[in-house]
């Protein structure tokens, strides 16, 4: 079991460019596992990667999503400086943009644990613990993914982090989007994650001031390392 994880910082990167990059990493691990099973390679260990980035304004629609949850047409998107991509993760529609921490774990869960529910819950827990460091209590909403504030109060529940993943042969791709200094007005153009009766928020909105996104990311990474028992390599 290889628990080394190569950390990759992509900064602000076009969504499609980063999608292609993580897809190449994902496919390379899957193909290695197939070749290993066929006895075509000797190297037993499969690599793991974790990408941190931000994206220019973009909406992505999961394979089980409903495009009617995009509330504006493509011309209006262009005027907003936003793009749109149907993609191969689970979940419905979501928004990525500057001021978010986007994390893409490209992991072979055979190196950690083969339990997708545990995987999702640990990603959520890393954000919950990070928010706790900033004095914010958060948690989960039954039947929904992601991290919520006031999740036990339907009239006040607001999502601060969205999750959407793809899994094949226990290899993961896609991940989470954690709203830090996000322009939340871009969520007005969608039904976020297909959920019409709950709102979204950001760390900036909850604390009332712009946050140091690198500081938040560093705290988040430490929680991920502890929860997954990563051994980070650069």
Q: How far apart are the first and last CA of the chain?
A: 19
Q: Torsion-angle region of residue 148: left (phi > 0), alpha (psi -120 to 50) or beta?
A: beta
Rounded CA Rg of the chain: 18
Residue 193 a catalytic site member: yes
Catalytic site positions: 193
């Amino acid at each position: 079991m290889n628990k080394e994880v190569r950390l990759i910082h992509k900064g602000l990167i076009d969504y499609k460019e980063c999608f292609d990059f993580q897809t190449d990493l994902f496919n390379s691990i899957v193909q290695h596992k197939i070749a290993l099973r066929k006895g075509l390679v000797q190297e037993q260990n499969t690599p793991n990667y974790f990408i941190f980035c931000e994206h220019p304004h973009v909406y992505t629609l999961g394979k089980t999503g409903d495009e009617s949850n995009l509330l504006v047409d493509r011309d209006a998107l262009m005027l907003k400086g936003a793009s749109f991509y149907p993609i191969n993760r689970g979940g419905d529609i979501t928004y990525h943009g500057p001021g978010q921490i986007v994390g893409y774990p490209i992991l072979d869960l055979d190196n950690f644990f083969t339990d997708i529910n545990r995987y999702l819950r640990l990603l959520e827990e890393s954000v919950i613990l990070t928010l706790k460091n900033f004095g914010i209590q958060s948690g989960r909403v039954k039947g929904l993914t992601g991290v919520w504030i006031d999740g036990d109060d339907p009239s006040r529940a607001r999502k601060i982090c969205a999750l959407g993943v793809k899994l094949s042969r226990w290899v993961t791709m896609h991940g989470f989007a954690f709203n830090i200094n996000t322009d939340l007005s871009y969520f007005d153009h969608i039904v976020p994650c297909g959920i019409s009766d709950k709102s979204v928020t950001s760390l900036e909105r909850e604390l009332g001031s712009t946050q140091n996104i690198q500081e938040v990311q560093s705290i988040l990474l430490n929680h991920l390392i502890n929860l997954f028992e990563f051994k980070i390599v650069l």
